[in-house]
Structure 1
Amino acid sequence: MLLMDYLNEVQGKRAHDPYFDSAAASPGRTVWVPGALIVGAGPSGLATAACLKARGVPSLIVERADCIASLWQHKTYDRLRLHLPKQCCQLPLMPFPTDFPTYPTKQQFLGYLESYRTRFALEPVFNSAVETAEFDRRCEVWRVKTVVATTTARPQEVEYVCQWLVVATGENAEAVVPELDGIEAFRGPVVHTSSYRSGEGFAGKKVLVVGCGNSGMEVCLDLCNYKARTSLVVRDSVVHVLPQQMLGTSTFGLSMWLTKWFSIRAVDRFLLLMSRLMLGDTARLGLTRPKLGPLELKGLTGKTPVLDVGTLAKIRSGHIKVRRGIKRITHQAVEFVDGRVENFDAIVLATGYKSNVPTWLKEREMFSEKDGLPRRAFPNGWKGENGLFAVGFTKRGLLGAAIDARRIAEEIELRWKADQTKVK
């Protein structure tokens, strides 16, 4: 059965079932979605819906949480700011307000997203968790089954049927919790950064932060500012730390500009030279740099360099201790791989997030089962087969998501107009 045959069948069902093509369909119903179905109401999903709307293509967003940008609203610490300048993080068709600082706060960014949603009249269907999404080759449509959270004891189901499916659940859908020997015996609190809000409740306590990415470094600084006695575990002992700004501008913006004129390796040499001049030799602080430069490493592995916002100064002054990897944990102590043993009151896991796409998308060509990311690297990972698209998986933050949102909207618009012509 081809799509046109399926649509004719849908028309017959519409005549008898007023809920069939309604986005507000009663649980247990099947919903036909004209245009695109977008899974995820984070910045990537909102950007794609806005770009489609600007091109006259309808879409529907389904979101498992009860709000837009749930990662930002529910799983980020209070002191968080955008690590990149606002011009690198704004969504398509609507810049940040001119009075926003270069690095907007968490609350400013959330306010911007809410204004974005209002401006483009985007109305996601909340509390709708996707269980499976599978391409129906007989009908040439995607069937997306969701479980709707309700006030009743029993969850309800809604199946969405669409021609184009946009995966916008992102690289940070699920918290990564490492297996650490003995951690279940630890008597103090063990929290992932997704549950950490501020260091206020840790004042005067000895806290171990596991993970030295941007979140780990910033959480350490936050704890230190609240007078916690903080230690940082650098598990693989190698990390690139760069100043957030160089030569009066953002390091990220400067490096992107330089790559237009010079090779990545040449730009990496410049970044490392400037970092050495501005930050000193980080290896003396226990932060050995990888052999590959920061941009080359980012391109090959997706590992983002740390942009220092003051943590290095606290490490240098001794307020934050750097520790090697963990060997084992007991009820109140941690033994490190170098033999050192220390007591701690709490452990914060700054161990990142991962994609959850393989748990619900029944497709194995576009996304890797190993890490849940597109098999093809940026800029080629946004488009799959049979009307499947991905946004927010570029390892380049909101800038990459904005680029892919525009591409996806342009591609779907062409197909949408072609289909409209056929129907006429």
Structure 2
Amino acid sequence: MRLHLPREFCELPHAPFPPGTPPYPTRDQFIAYLDGYARAFAVEPLLGARVRAAAYDAGIGFWRVTVEVSCAAAGKDSMTTTATEFMSRWLVVATGENAEPVWPDGVEGMDVYRGTVMHTSTYKRGDEFTGKKVLVVGCGNSGMEVSLDLCDNGAKASMVVRDKLHVLPRDILGISTFGLSVFLLKWLPMKWVDALFLFFSRLILGDTEKYGLQRPKIGPLQIKKSTGKTPVLDIGALRKIGDGDIKVVPAINRFTESGVEFADGRKEDFDAVILATGYKSNVPSWLKVRTYANVHVQSYLLASCILS
């Protein structure tokens, strides 16, 4: 497991990665980097905590943040939680887009399926599925990479593709696609950058539509800007699809006891189903925003969480 983006786009303030770190650090390298950062800047994370409410108190000019802390996380034997209120002049919301797993609604028969159903948020190791038939629902970055990991660990992976999507190479001419987009957008219109990416994508990856992966009519960066949907950065799954090691299948019509029935009426048995159906922000559920003449931060924070 490695970072999906180059290390220079994942560095924290005032602390670059140690010399010799590869362009895409491993999970262990990134954790070591975070641990070192916390030690160097005396950051004390409150683990096992969940924010329940955050609201600005105009009367005192402070934020009131109510947090539930697990007693087990605090080193106590009890599994109960205690409520704690923090008060601060400033509140920084940095929870990103991926907080709560999204489970698909309205899929018939999921309760009768006898195999394993899990979300990618709880996926750990591909070798747990060696020799098994696994259906991955979703074809974004998570769906592609889980399918690749399953394939690399001897599982028979099938991937549900319902929507059109853009698949781009992770690197173009030795430069990360993400980094290249950041650079080019400073000088060129977005449509031109999209056209360049699609040209290099076809040159490097070939025609993805022959694998059952149809591209949208508008470019990948324009889709990201308008909908927030991120293009897939390929790290090897496309080659496995082309070789037939990962099978592309249509949308699910319903679950059966032993597998699923697809939209085309075909039925197939699976040992497990992994839902790569994305995440949503939980910030709107706890950040209470009001308008005050002397406070400018709340609406910006909420907008940055929703639009980032």
TM-score (norm 1): 0.67
- Of residues 307, 318, 332 in structure 1, which corresponds to 2:244? 318
1:393 equivalent to 2:305? Answer yes
Aligned in 2, Cα 1:114/1:390: closer, same or farther, shift over 3 Å?
A: farther
Q: How far apart are 1:126 and its partner, in Å?
A: 2.8
Alpha-carbon spacing, 1:388–1:254, altered in 2? closer, same or farther (3 Å): closer
Counterpart of 2:287 in 1: which secondary structure? coil
Q: Could you tell me whether the CA contact under 8 Å between 1:166 and 1:390 is conserved in 2?
A: no
**Cα 1:345–1:339 shift into 2, 3 Å:** same
Distance 1:394 1:246 in 2: 30
In structure 2, what is the equivalent of residue 347 of structure 1? Answer: 273
Q: 2:68 aligns with which of 133, 139, 147?
A: 147
Query: Is 1:203 aligned with 2:124?
Result: no
Corresponding residue number in structure 2 for 1:416: none
Partner of 1:84: 5
Report the CA distance shift for 1:94/1:385 in structure 2 as closer, same or farther (over 3 A).
closer
Secondary structure at the counterpart of residue 318 of structure 1: coil
**CA positional deviation for 1:235:** 2.3
Please list every run of 5 or more consecutive structure 1 residues that lacks an aligned counterpart in the other structure: 1-79, 366-382, 397-424
1:110 to 23, 26, 31: 31
Residue 217 to residue 113, structure 1, CA distance change in 2 (3 Å):
same
Query: What residue in structure 1 maps to residue 114 of structure 2?
Result: 187
Larger radius of gyration: 1
Query: Structure 1's 293 and 176: CA in aligned 2 closer, same or farther, altered over 3 A?
Result: same
Deviations 1:182-223 (A, max 9, x none): 111111111111111111111111100011111110110111
Q: Which amino acid aligns with 1:351?
A: T
- Does structure 2 retain, via aligned residues, the 8 Å contact 1:233–1:322? yes
Decide which moves more: 352-361 or 183-192.
352-361
1:225 pairs with 2:152: yes
TM superposition shift of 1:132: 1.4
Match for 1:354: what amino acid?
Answer: K
Do the aligned partners of residues 96 and 178 (structure 1) sit closer, same or farther apart at CA in structure 2, a change above 3 Å counting?
same
- Counterparts in 2 of 1:87 and 1:339: CA distance versus 1, 3 Å: same
- 1:95 to 2:13 alignment: no
Deviations 1:340-385 (A, max 9, x none): 21111100111121111122222267xxxxxxxxxxxxxxxxx954
Q: Does 1:259 align with 2:185?
A: yes
- The SS at the match of 1:297 is helix
Q: Which amino acid aligns with 1:323?
A: V
Point out the more displaced range, 146-155 or 175-184.
146-155
Amino acid at match of 2:172: M
SS at match of 1:331: coil
1:275 corresponds to which residue? 201
Secondary structure, aligned partner of 2:146: helix
2:224 paired with 1:292: no
For 1:91 and 1:248, locate their aligned partners in 2 and report how far apart those are by CA, in whole Å. Answer: 24
Give the 3 Å change call, closer, same or farther, for CA 95–388 of structure 1 in structure 2: same
Gaps of 5+ in 2: none
Per-residue CA deviations over 1:123-160 (Å, capped at 9, x if unaligned) read 12333322211222333322112222223465322211
Q: How does 1:318-337 map to 2 (within 5 A)?
A: 318-337=244-263
1:127 counterpart residue number: 48
Query: Does the CA contact (< 8 Å) of 1:231 and 1:323 recur in 2?
Result: yes
Aligned partners of 1:215 and 1:350 also within 8 Å: yes
Residues 109, 250 of structure 1: alpha-carbon distance in 2 compared, 3 angstrom cutoff: same
Q: Offset at 1:115? A: 0.8
State the Cα distance separating 1:111 from its structure 2 match: 0.9
- What SS is found at the alignment partner of 1:183? coil
Q: Percent identity?
A: 53
**Does the residue aligned with 2:288 lie in a helix, a strand or coil?**
coil
SS of corresponding position for 1:138: coil
- Residue pair 2:284, 2:302 contacting (<8 A) in 1 also: no
Q: Pick one of 81, 91, 107 that aligns with 1:165.
A: 91
TM-score, normalised to structure 2, is 0.91
How much does 1:267 deviate? Answer: 0.9
Superposed CA deviations along residues 53-93 of structure 1, whole A, max 9, x for unmatched, are xxxxxxxxxxxxxxxxxxxxxxxxxxx21111111211111
- Per-residue CA deviations over 1:316-354 (Å, capped at 9, x if unaligned) read 011111011111111112111122211111001111211
SS of the equivalent of 2:90 reads strand
CA distance in 1, matches of 2:51, 2:111: 31
> Considering only aligned residues, what root-mean-square deviation do their CA atoms show, in Å?
2.1
Structure 2: how far apart are the matches of 1:137 and 1:330? Answer: 55
- Residue in 2 aligned with 1:48? none
State the match for 2:171 in structure 1.
245
CA contact (8 A) 2:130 2:150 kept: yes
How many residues get paired?
Answer: 299
- Give 1:109 shift: 0.8
Check conservation: 1:207, 1:228, Cα contact below 8 A.
Answer: yes
